Structure 1
C-alpha cells in the first residue's frame, strides 16, 4: 500500500460530489434555497449515495447532482466549494495532485448568473486553497454536456480557453445520452480541437455503461476526438481491439471503483477485479479516482485498499497507477 505520507493523485472527481454534506447544508441555508427536507441527516441522504447497495443505475445519480448543482449555483457557493474540496483532499488523503471538474452552465441558474462570475469564483477558491496548501497542485476542468446544444458547449470551451491562464486545465464531455440514443461525437470535434490547440487537456466520459453501444462510442471517441484521458472506459475490458486502441494511443483511463459498483456499472467486486486485471495484462494505462468522495462515501485511500484487498492490483501496481496520475495530470500544460 502507498505510504500514508506519500502524495496521491486524483484526476476524476466532480465538484458536486467533493464537498462535505455539512458544508452544502450551510451553503443551502445561507442562500435561502428551499430544500425538500428539514433535518440534516435527511439532507445528507439526499446529496450522497447513502445506501450501501448503491443506486438503481447511472441515471439515478442525476437526482443527487440536481441538489448539489443547485446549491453550488452562486459565486459564493462555488468559491467555497472549490476551496473546501482541495483542502479536504489534502488533509484527509494527502492528495497533492487534484483536478476538480464541473459544468459552469449547471451552476448559473439557467442564465440568471453570469457565467464568468461562476468560473472566476471557482478560480478564487483555487487561489485561496493554493495559499493554504502550497503542497497541492490543483486545477479545474470545465465540462460540456451531451444534453446541451452545440452552441452551449462551444461557450463552455470558449470560457475554458479564456480562463486557462488562471487555472482551467482541461475540458470534459459528460451527461446522459438524449433519448438514450447514441451520441454524435462529431459535433464535439471542433470544440475539442480548439481546446487542444489552446493547450488544454481533453478527457471524455465514455465507456462506463451501455453495452455494445457504449463500446462503439468508446472506439469512436478515441479515434475521432483523440482525448488524453477517458473517464471510466471500463467497457473496453471486454474488447481486445479497444484495449489495443487505448494502449497504442496512450489514452489514460480514470477508473472509479466504488462509483462503478454503486451505480451498477460493474455488478460486484469480482467483476471489478477482473476488469482491472484485464487492463493490467493488456498494458492499458489507468489511474484510480473516486468520482466524488463525499457523494460516494469513499476516499482515494479507501479505493486503493479495496483494490489491493480483492486482489485487483498489487501494491506495486497501485504505486504505478498513482505515479501515472501525477504524470497524466493536465496541470502545468497551459
Structure 2
C-alpha cells in the first residue's frame, strides 16, 4: 500500500548497489574488471566518506553510465523498488540533465540534448504496474557555467509535464564566487513560475542567507537549526520546508551520529518549521525511506506523532502532488464511504 512521499532523491544516487554492480557485469568490461566481487563493490559504494566533496565524487561513477540509452533500464528498477519496498505514492527525482548528455558534443549540442534526457526520464517513470506519481527537479550545478544553468532553468519551465522545480547542487563551497549569478538564476526561475529548492546549510561551508529568500524548500538546511536558529522564524514566516536526509550526514562526515538530529527536529517543531524526511541517495546509502523513519524512531530523535507530522508535511510541500490530502486520508475516506 503506497503511503509515503520522498521529496529529495538524486537520480545518480538512487541505484541500489546490486543493480549497479549487475549492470557493470553485463555491460561495462572496464568497471566489471574494477569491481569483480559484489561485496567489495557494496563496501566501496556505501561506506562513509570524510567530506561532502569526497562523497559527491561517487555520483560521477553513476553519471558515467546513466546515458540516454541506459536511463530507462535504471529508472524502471528505481520505480519498482520505490513502490514495492518503500510504499511510495509520490517521488520527486532530481538530477542535472547536462551530466547525462554526450561528453563528445560541444556545449550547444549538449544543451540541446538535455531536452531528450528530460523526456526519456519522464516517460521512463511511467510504469503501469507500479502506479506512483513522479516528477523531476532539474539541478543547476555549481561546476557548470551560467549559460548551461540558465538553459536548465529554461528547460524546466518549458516542460511542466515532466518537471516541477529547479534545484542547485554541487559542492556548496563553490557558491561563494557565484552568488550574484545564482541569485539571478533563481530570480529568473521564479519569473518563469518555477518552484525552487536548493542545497544550502547542509554543511558549515554552505551558509548562504542571500539565497534563502528565493527558495520555497531548503535542501537539507540542518545547519540553520543547529548553528543559526535565529533564522527559523523567517523560514516559518515564508512557509519553507527543510528536506532532511538523515543518513547523508553520517556518510559525508557532516554529523558524527544521527542522534544529533534531535536538535534539528526539536528546534524546527518549536519554531513551526516543517520537515520532510527524505533519502537523498537511497541506493548509495543502501537505506530506503522506511528505514530512515525507523532509525529516527529507534534513536529517539523523533516520536511517532512527529513522524506523522513530517510525513504529512512531505505531501503538503510536494511540488506536484495533485491532491489536497495525503494518500492515507484519501484511503480513509474511501473506506468510510464503502462501509457507511
What TM-score does the superposition give when structure 1 sets the normalisation length?
A: 0.87
* SS at 2:125 equivalent: helix
Equivalence for 1:69: 63
1:121 maps onto 2:120 in alignment: yes
Say which of 23, 31, 36 aligns to 2:19: 23
Q: Equivalences for 1:1-334 in 2 at 5 Å?
A: 5=1, 7-28=3-24, 31-32=27-28, 34-35=30-31, 36-46=34-44, 48-49=45-46, 51=47, 54-72=48-66, 74-110=67-103, 112=105, 114-127=113-126, 129=127, 131-134=128-131, 136-165=132-161, 167-177=162-172, 182-210=176-204, 214-215=206-207, 217=208, 219-223=209-213, 226-237=214-225, 238-331=227-320
Tell me, yes or no, if the aligned pair for 1:13 and 1:100 is still in contact at 8 Å: yes
Shift of 1:24: 2.2
Q: Whole-Å Cα distance in 1 between the matches of residues 259 and 21 of structure 2?
A: 36
Q: Could you list the per-position Cα deviations for residues 36-62 of structure 1 after superposition, in whole angstroms to 9, with x for gaps in the alignment?
A: 33333333334x32x3xx211111112
Instruction: Could you tell me which runs of 5 or more consecutive residues in structure 1 were left unpaired when the two chains were aligned.
Output: none
Other structure's SS at 1:75 match? coil
Pick the structure with greater CA Rg: 2
- 1:23 Cα deviation (Å)? 2.5
- The superposition leaves residues 87-141 of structure 1 with CA deviations (integer Å, 9 ceiling, x where unpaired) of 21110010101111011111114254632222221112122x2x2222x111111
Q: Residue 201 and residue 38 in structure 1: after superposition, are their counterparts in 2 closer, same or farther (change >3 A)?
A: same
Shift of 1:175: 0.4
Q: 1:181 and 1:253, CA in 2 relative to 1: closer, same or farther beyond 3 A? A: closer
Is the CA contact 2:136–2:165 (under 8 Å) kept in the aligned structure 1?
yes
Identify unmatched segments of 5+ residues in structure 2: 323-340
Q: What TM-score results when the alignment is normalised by the length of structure 2? A: 0.85
**Secondary structure of 2:272's match?**
coil
Contact 1:33 1:71 in 2 (8 A): no
User: Secondary structure of the residue that 1:34 maps to in structure 2?
Assistant: helix
User: C-alpha separation between the residues in 2 aligned to 1:44 and 1:309?
Assistant: 25
